[in-house]
Structure 1
Amino acid sequence: MNELQREFTAFINNMDVRLGAFVLADLPETFEKEDGETVKFPKDFGPQSLPMLELFVLSKFPSTEEILKPEHRRFFEGLIRYLGETYLRAIGGVWDHDEMTGNGMPFIRPDNAEGPAAGEPIPLVGIVLAAVDQRSAEVFTAVLNKARELLGGDGKPRRRCTGLSLGVLNEENSSEEEVEFLSRFIGTVEPGIAAWTQEQADPASWGFDRESLARLGKQVAVRYDGPDDMIAEDETPFTAGAMRFIGETVRRIAIGQWRYGAGLEADDPRSKQPFIRFVIGDQNLDLVPWRLIQAALENDDAIASALDAVIEMREQEAAEADESSDDSASAADGADED
């Protein structure tokens, strides 16, 4: 895997955390329009959010030189993620990358009348720069409208939503306390892990994989004699980094989402703790990294085993879905024969 492929893989794997942080921390709840009217800022990845998003970008950046400054890179990348995911939901397509298109950044390869991902690339970096340069607040929507025309027919996508994110939290689907916590916490996950791994033996060997979780479990069991040792003040950097590493690893592998235990009973393991939620079928499965660290004191395989359990449930869910699909197909064949 070359460097460009590694960067693209990281971009996709980090989508939920980075996109969630952008929506929670960088987009406002309300926005004052040029006529002085204050309106609610739509953050639902719908086409109707594009004009407001573009107005907001223009209010922050007076020129392309300004938005390209290094200190604005995080916002720029978050904006690209949001814009790309919005297009995917409206017209279908896939994230893609190559050395020539989109200034080296990921771009959208949309569906069109010829088939899935058969359209001309939508270079998101160029679209943002054009919007800031033209200052019409119409560029984001114009790009979408053109792509819809190329779908043919009624301009509706020919397949189910292809967006990647699991759904971003807001005041409508979670509590204000949870949103406030995650708006601060999510942005610390990757930097915290990066700093933590640099303090470990052989930093380059730590990856978002089961092997690293198993190694961490053994390290915890050797490092601490009991729970009290883990909460000592000088151990905070290690446990905080380990908690983020565990949560982010299981989230990426088993496809989950960071949540926070707000408004729960004190004896609930999730209370006042960040945790990972997995939606499996019609049920939620929650893993609390802090509890997994503690469990490793008694069983050094507890952390890796928790990941195994989620993967097993995912595989079972997929098998049941396949079986249901086969049953439906058989029933349809029987109806045809009748």
Structure 2
Amino acid sequence: MASTDEPLSQWHEQLFFVLMLLQDLELKGAGFASDYSGDSLVALEREFLQRYTSSEQIAWPTRRTLTEGLAAYLGETLMRAAGGAWAWSTEQDIDGFSVGVPLITADSTLTVEPISPLRLLRDAAEVRDGQRFTAVYDRWSCAADEKKRADPTWKPVKEHTTADRPDPESIPLADWLTRRSGSFQDWADTYAPDTTWDFTPASLASLEELVRRVAPTEEMLFDHVNRDFLGGAVWYLGETMRRGLGGRWNWNLHKRGNRKFPYVEKLGPRGVRTCTPHLVIDAALEKPGYLTYRYELAAEQQ
């Protein structure tokens, strides 16, 4: 059987954009409230049946963006009812999807069968009773409710995806911050032992000079061999911004390639500025003084 890792990874990668296109383009003006609630599925299935008159249209290339957006929304809505995660099936039972289809698995403690949102779309188009989406949602919700009654302390666990709001308390972010903070002195001793790293705005000029010396091009900056160097530089820039201008770290799940970027938000006097250190450091390679400029910009009264 072919590996499911690559198509599943690609599906995760495109989730945010697929859902954005669904809400901001495909369903714009349709009166659809994309709040991932069970009630929203009633309006969604009604709109779906108006646009798809047969199940064959699900695989039409001209409908691909809408079809994938509907599948993504269905899956994310079900996970909010009963937890779970995205998975992948390589069964070739839907024409037009040669690498298989995404699946939704509920929280591992629930006895609920995985669902293929694409197959759910196909069933809805064939049965056409307007109740296929809500029937599955109710089944998953009931399973979760029964579990809660049996164990009031239980809560469904949903994998964090790009459809979720960034979580400043996320475990990956906490682990990254702990690791970077604990290793910073080693980083400083390795790359610039004679530099004073005191988290002041003036030290950002030294950081920028160091970046240009160690990794003067974008390719070198993001090369795997400089991963530790970049991580320390990113943490130092973000911490300098946070300590001087308030704010907090958060975790950006919208990827650039295979990278996930931590960032600092709620900066400045009004708490409305944001800084993504990876991108600021990258831009500074072509813009001398950019680190200091971004600090001063965040510090301005608006």
Q: Which residue of 2 aligns with 1:139?
A: 132
How far apart, CA to CA, are the structure 2 residues paired with 1:154 and 1:217? 49
Secondary structure in structure 2 of the residue aligned to 1:254? strand
TM-fit CA distance, 1:111: 2.5
Secondary structure in structure 2 of the residue aligned to 1:111? coil
Q: Which residue of 2 aligns with 1:82?
A: 73
Question: Residue 64 of structure 1 is aligned with which of 38, 55, 76?
Answer: 55
Change (3 A) 1:166 1:147: closer
Do 1:19 and 1:82's aligned partners in 2 also have CA atoms closer than 8 Å? yes
How far apart, CA to CA, are the structure 1 residues paired with 2:259 and 2:160? 18
1:137 partner amino acid: G
Give the alignment's TM-score, normalised by structure 2: 0.54
Secondary structure in structure 1 of the residue aligned to 2:38? coil
Q: Which residue of 1 aligns with 2:161?
A: 164
Q: Which residue of 2 aligns with 1:120?
A: 113
Structure 1's unaligned 5+ residue stretches are: 32-39, 169-210, 219-246, 257-276, 307-338
Question: Residue 109 of structure 1 is aligned with which of 87, 105, 108?
Answer: 105
Secondary structure in structure 1 of the residue aligned to 2:113? coil
State how many pairs are aligned: 198
TM-fit CA distance, 1:119: 2.7
Question: Residue 41 of structure 1 is aligned with which of 32, 39, 51?
Answer: 32
Question: Residue 253 of structure 1 is aligned with which of 247, 250, 259?
Answer: 259
Secondary structure in structure 1 of the residue aligned to 2:28? coil
How far apart, CA to CA, are the structure 1 residues paired with 2:254 and 2:128? 38
How far apart, CA to CA, are the structure 2 residues paired with 1:47 and 1:252? 33
How far apart, CA to CA, are the structure 2 residues paired with 1:278 and 1:132? 45
Do 2:107 and 2:157's aligned partners in 1 also have CA atoms closer than 8 Å? no
Q: Which residue of 1 aligns with 2:86?
A: 95
TM-fit CA distance, 1:286: 3.2
Matched, 1:214 2:218: yes
TM-fit CA distance, 1:159: 2.5
Q: Which residue of 1 aligns with 2:226?
A: none
Question: Residue 129 of structure 1 is aligned with which of 122, 132, 146?
Answer: 122
1:89 partner amino acid: R
How far apart, CA to CA, are the structure 1 residues paired with 2:63 and 2:53? 13
Q: Which residue of 1 aligns with 2:7?
A: 7
Question: Residue 285 of structure 2 is aligned with which of 296, 300, 305?
Answer: 296
How far apart, CA to CA, are the structure 2 residues paired with 1:72 and 1:290? 34
Do 1:45 and 1:82's aligned partners in 2 also have CA atoms closer than 8 Å? yes
**Cα deviation 1:38-60 (Å, max 9, x = unaligned):** xx421111111101001111111
Q: Which residue of 2 aligns with 1:208?
A: none
How far apart, CA to CA, are the structure 1 residues paired with 2:254 and 2:155? 33
1:70 partner amino acid: P
Q: CA RMSD in A?
A: 4.0
Change (3 A) 1:293 1:92: closer
Q: Which residue of 1 aligns with 2:232?
A: none
1:88 partner amino acid: M
Do 1:22 and 1:79's aligned partners in 2 also have CA atoms closer than 8 Å? yes
TM-fit CA distance, 1:28: 2.5
Secondary structure in structure 1 of the residue aligned to 2:85? strand
Give the alignment's TM-score, normalised by structure 1: 0.48
Secondary structure in structure 2 of the residue aligned to 1:126? helix
Matches within 5 A, 1:327-338: none
Q: Which residue of 2 aligns with 1:314?
A: none
How far apart, CA to CA, are the structure 2 residues paired with 1:108 and 1:70? 23
Change (3 A) 1:57 1:46: same
Structure 2's unaligned 5+ residue stretches are: 95-99, 166-214, 223-252, 295-302
TM-fit CA distance, 1:292: 6.1
